[in-house]
Amino acid sequence: MSPQVLETVDRVIDKYHKDKSMLIPILQDIQREYNYLPREALLRVKDKLNVPLPQIYAVATFYKAFSLKPRGKHTIYVCMGTACHVRGSPKILEEIQRKLDIKPGETTPDLNFTLETVNCLGACALGPLVVVDGNYFARVTPVQVEKILNKYKER
């Protein structure tokens, strides 16, 4: 296990006072740090928190916030809330899928984009909504998809 990972994980666990019930916030901090949950990090959590590994694995795979595989540099969130759906978000999602050749939950091979659907971001006046890196794109139409993607392809 790399010492850097061990150190980071230990720091996070100490921040939460080695409290087993704080497993989810602990994993959230680790996820934020590495953009995914590395296996060795989870093994370290098992050792230091004294939580059985199956429980950690269950939590890591149950919640959408966690990923066991590295996430892309830019995460594209397509809101699939009812209001956005009624305004045509499925077409937006399809267009993005076509352009990037990945399905929701997947990451492009060059690790640039991860596509995720999200259930209602609460900005329903602006639907269909697409959020990339915290930037909101409102009233998106399928035609605009390419432009939005190009913004992040160059970076």
Partner 1 sequence: MVKLVIDGKEVEVEEGLSVLEAAKRIGVKIPTLCYHPAVSAYGACRVCTVEVIRKGWSRLTAACTYPVQDGIEVKTNSEKVIKARRLIIEMLLARCPNVKAIQELAREMGLDKVRFPQEDKECILCGLCVRVCSEVIGANAIGFASRGLERKVTTPFEIEPDTCIGCGACAVVCPTGAIKIEDIEDKRKIDMWSRKLERVRCERCGRYFFTKAMVDYVKARNEKIEKLQEFLNLCPDCRREILKDKLRVTKETTTLHRT
Partner 2 sequence: MSKKIKSLKELEELRKEGLKSLYPDKPRIMIGMATCGLASGANEVFEALNTKVRENRIDIKIVPTGCLGYCQIEPLVDVFKPGWPRIIYQKMNGEKVIKLLESLTRESIWKDSILARLDRDELLIFGKTKKYDIQGELSGVIDDIPLLQEIPFYCKQFRIASRNCGFIDPTNVIEYVARGGYYSLFKVLSQYEPDQVIEEIIKSGLRGRGGGGFPTGKKWLYCRQAKGNVKYVICNADEGDPGAYMDRSILEGDPHSILEGMIIGAYAIGAREGYIYVRNEYPLAVKHISIAIKQAEEYGLLGEDILGSGFSFSIRVNRGGGAFVCGESTALMASLEGRVGEPRAKHIHTVESGLWEKPTNLNNVETWANVPVIIARGADWYSKIGTEGSKGTKIFSLVGKINNTGLAEVPMGITLREIIFDIGGGIPGGKKFKAVQTGGPSGGCIPENFLDLPVDFDALTKVGSMMGSGGMIVMDEDTCMVDVAKYFLTFLKDESCGKCTSCREGIKQMLEILNRITQGEGKEEDIELLEELSEVVKSTSLCALGGTAPNPVLTTIRYFRDEYEAHIKDKKCPARVCRDLITYTIDQEKCTGCTRCARECPQEAIVGERRKPHRILQEKCVKCGICYETCKFDAIKVE
Interface residue list for partner 1 (CB under 8 A): 39, 42, 52-58, 61-62, 68
Question: Of partner 1, partner 2, none, which one does residue 53 interact with (CB within 5 to 8 Å by kind)?
Answer: partner 1
Q: Examine residue 13 and tell whether it contacts partner 2 (CB under 8 A).
A: no
CA 4 – CA 106 distance, rounded (Å): 27
Q: Contact letters (x/-) for partner 2, 99-118, by CB under 8 A?
A: x------------------x
- 43 is a site residue for partner 2 (CB under 8 A): no
Residues with Cβ within 8 Å of residue 1, at least 6 apart in sequence: 40, 43, 44
**Alpha-carbon distances of 1 from 5, 31, 43, 50, rounded to whole Å:** 7, 17, 9, 18
Judged by CB under 8 A, which of 15, 18, 39, 64 binds partner 2? 64
Residue 153 site contact among partner 2, partner 1, none (CB < 5 to 8 Å, cut-off depends on kind): none
| Beta carbons of 57 and 46 less than 8 angstroms apart | no
Any bridge partners for residue 78, and if so which?
117, 130
Residue 136 sits at φ, ψ, to 5 deg, of -90, 130
Could you say whether residue 152 binds partner 2 (CB under 8 A)? no
SS (H, E, C) 34-62: HCCCCHHHHHHHHHHHCCCHHHHHHHHHH
Instruction: Work out how close the CB of 62 gets to partner 1 at its nearest, in angstroms, rounded to a whole number.
Output: 5
Q: Does 22 bind partner 2 (CB under 8 A)?
A: yes
Name which of partner 1, partner 2, none residue 54 binds, using a CB cut-off of 5 to 8 Å depending on partner kind. partner 1
